[in-house]
Amino acid sequence: MSSEDGHDAGALSRANQQQARIHRLERLSSGDSSMVGEHVHKVCCVCGEILNHKPRFKDREGRYWCPTCNAADHEKVRPVPCADCGIEVPRADMKELHGVMLCPVCVEKFLHDSKAMAEVRLQALVHSQQVKQTPSSNIPVQKIVLAVALLLAAILILIYRLS
């Protein structure tokens, strides 16, 4: 969805809200008693979930957002580092090339490189991404070495005292 479509949808939503307000005012002024006790729903502008008595967010235009849609919207614009140059770019602007997220500048570099050079660079990036995503132990090697050394020292002290 482009920003232009989002703007059109926002304008349409505001127009619909204004029309609903006018309709309610006309019914109230005509003495229609069905409006008495009418409950106004706070609805997520993205997914349509009713947010009355629930956690919600409200934007500058007065639209309500449920926490899930709000987080998803923020995730789209949260900066992510490019796998090649490391520059942080909003996620929506990143391009995926062979499973690697690249900024538009690096995508252009890859497209203009010779085919062989681009393949070598992409393979290196894919490999580095796989290495980063490989689950590693949370215990640093130095702590393990220290623990083994202390255990050996304790064993040696016990042997010395028993002999």
Has residue 135 got a pLDDT over 70?
Answer: no
pLDDT of residue 27: 64
Same domain flag for 157 and 87? yes
Final residue before a domain boundary, out of 44, 74, 104: 74
Same domain flag for 83 and 150? yes
Backbone angles phi, psi at 95, to 5 degrees: -120, 140
Same domain flag for 69 and 95? no
Count structural domains, the chain: 2
Has residue 155 got a pLDDT over 70?
Answer: yes
Report yes or no: 153 and 161 within 8 Å, Cβ to Cβ: no
Same domain flag for 57 and 90? no
Confidence class of residue 5 from pLDDT cuts 50, 70 and 90?
Answer: low
Could you write out the DSSP letters of every residue in 130-157? HHHHS---SS-HHHHHHHHHHHHHHHHH
Which contiguous run of DSSP H or E holds residue 89? Answer: strand 88-90
Who wins on pLDDT, 132 or 88? 88
Same domain flag for 97 and 70? no
Report yes or no: 40 and 50 within 8 Å, Cβ to Cβ: no
Same domain flag for 70 and 83? no
Residue 132 tokens read as 């980063």
Same domain flag for 87 and 36? no
Same domain flag for 60 and 25? yes
Backbone angles phi, psi at 70, to 5 degrees: -65, -45
Same domain flag for 87 and 118? yes
pLDDT of residue 2: 47
pLDDT of residue 137: 53
Domain span holding position 100: 79-163
Same domain flag for 96 and 19? no
Same domain flag for 95 and 154? yes
Confidence class of residue 1 from pLDDT cuts 50, 70 and 90?
Answer: very low
DSSP 3-state assignment of 81? strand
